[in-house]
Amino acid sequence: MDNQAILTLQVYSKNIFFNHPYQLKYTGDKIVMYKLKQGVQIFRFQVLIRIMTLIKWIIKFENKQPKFIGFTIKIKKKFKTFISKDPDQLIKLKNLLSCRCSFGNFDELYTVKSDISRGSSGSVKKIQCKSTGNELAVKYINNKDLTPLNYSIIEQEIAVMNKVKGFDYFVQIQDVYQDDQQYLIIMNYLDGYSLSHYLENNKKMNKTFSLFQIFSIMKRLFEALIKLSELEIIHRDIKPQNLVLAEEDDFTSLTIIDFGFATFTNINRYLLYKCGTPGYAAPEVLNSQCTYYSFSCDVFSSGCLLYQLLFHELPFKGDTIEQLVHNNRICQFNLDLDKCDAFSNNIISLLKSLLEKKISDRIQLKNAYDQFSILYDLYKQRYDTEDCHDSSPLVNRLPNFDTQIGRIFEQNTTRESRQSLSNCTQIISK
């Protein structure tokens, strides 16, 4: 990275008798400190900026508002303290370092309110910013006895979250903190529930998702997956627990969370090869011989989700976790003809194309999105014009509706996606 300074400011080392002036230069990948002696810069040390780099801010509170007056940074296993006469420059430095290294003042700035959930790599809690009152979320990741691989996985998760910053399809990272026991990833708080909550609630209430709700979910999900593919990211853990509504009961606000298993595709080798959740993972991810796979694995996981939304159960079953993983790996499942009869042939064909075992036979990401968009638009039109509500079957078997779907699919899908659908005419048992 270019060593040209992005930010330069004067600070003072805090000593017992007097304070030595230093010039701090931040270059984007490191902090370089020069001691100032009679106007001459004398290089003293530099600190590489990584997530494991810890900076503790020295803060004074005035009317409950934080005023930054200095910082402490770890240098060769010792902490060295610097103060500044320019709090605005310190805030600029903090903003530049945000999500690139770890800060150490979590308890001073935030109050923990309640538990939210436990994800693949840590627990999540609701917090409140003491100065603004804003509600946020924090993910705790244990940092005790971490191996170099574990550190790399944490850094990769944060790097992925930085990459998706600014897109509302994904939970947004705000800051990273660190204490003696854990890393703390600060994120925006989502007001709605996860899809797993709605699935469990529907089961208790003997309710089902309307098809309009289902295609709202799937269209939004595939919009997010296309954005991930543009950013060269695979999530690798698409499931109801990791899909949360930003706004309560608004399925068009579906948001992907928990990037603990996510990876970039433009790297020489994955940090993890076999990962994800049994019952949702693509066969190629569970295959121990596979060392590289594509965005298609998220397509398969989305197919498992669609199956669950339609039939209220997972496609893969097993009396033990080993049997479940085995059936998932070999893609062994059956579609009950009586259950399938409740839906149009095109919907079932699309489901089958998502759940193809071979990547070459599986529908491509963009084609799947196009078809879910068609279904969403059709059902939205019916939803807007018919006397429907969310708990109704929602024009699932209206006269001539299958014919309409088939006609529009034929007009709007590519030859490749039509071929993929035509290949999926038998009950899958592979």
382-416 pLDDT, tens digit each: 766 655 544 444 434 433 445 455 555 555 555 45
Backbone dihedral angles phi then psi of residue 243, each to the nearest 5 degrees: -125, 110
The first and second tokens of residue 313, run together, are: 């159960």
Sign of CA dihedral 384, 387, 389, 395: negative
Say which residues have a Cβ less than 8 Å from residue 207's Cβ, sequence separation at least 6. Answer: 201, 391
**192 or 75, which is more confident?**
192
Which three-class secondary structure state does DSSP give residue 35? strand
At residue 257, what is the residue type?
A: I
Residue closest to 56 by CA, chosen among 76, 75, 36: 75
Residues 113-131 have a mean pLDDT of 86
| Cα radius of gyration (the chain) | 26
CATH fold, domain 107-188, is: Phosphorylase Kinase; domain 1 (3.30.200)
Say which residues have a Cβ less than 8 Å from residue 138's Cβ, sequence separation at least 6. Answer: 106, 110, 112, 124, 125, 127, 184, 185, 186, 187
At residue 6, what is the residue type?
A: I
Most distant CA atoms of the chain, gap in Å: 89
Locate the domains of the chain by residue range: 7-101, 107-188, 195-422
Query: Residue 245's beta-bridge partner residues?
Result: 254
Say which residues have a Cβ less than 8 Å from residue 155's Cβ, sequence separation at least 6. Answer: 50, 51, 52
Say which residues have a Cβ less than 8 Å from residue 159's Cβ, sequence separation at least 6. Answer: 264
268-314 pLDDT, tens digit each: 787 777 889 999 999 999 986 666 788 999 999 999 999 999 999 99
Say which residues have a Cβ less than 8 Å from residue 141's Cβ, sequence separation at least 6. Answer: 121, 122, 154, 182, 183, 184, 185
The first and second tokens of residue 35, run together, are: 């001691």
Cα–Cα distance measured from residue 427 to residue 430, given in angstroms and rounded to the nearest whole number: 10
CA torsion, ordered 192, 198, 201, 203, to nearest 10 deg = 180
| pLDDT higher than threshold 60 for residue 61 | yes
First-to-final CA distance of the chain: 50
CA 197 to chain centre: 18
The first and second tokens of residue 99, run together, are: 């999500």
Mean pLDDT of the chain: 87
Quickly tell me which residue has 């509504």 as its tokens. Answer: 245
Cα–Cα distance measured from residue 207 to residue 211, given in angstroms and rounded to the nearest whole number: 13
Residue closest to 280 by CA, chosen among 225, 241, 252, 334: 241
CATH architecture under which domain 195-422 falls? Orthogonal Bundle (1.10)
Helix (H) or strand (E) holding 414: none
The first and second tokens of residue 39, run together, are: 């106007």
- Looking at domain 7-101, does it have CATH number 2.30.29.30? yes
Let me know how long the chain is: 430
The answer to whether the CB of 282 falls within 8 A of the CB of 297 is yes
| pLDDT higher than threshold 80 for residue 325 | yes
202-252 pLDDT, tens digit each: 999 999 999 999 999 999 999 999 999 999 999 999 999 999 999 999 999
128-176 pLDDT, tens digit each: 999 999 999 999 998 887 888 888 999 999 999 999 999 999 999 999 9
Domains 7-101 and 107-188 share a fold: no
Which three-class secondary structure state does DSSP give residue 218? helix
Structure pTM?
0.86
| pLDDT higher than threshold 90 for residue 184 | yes
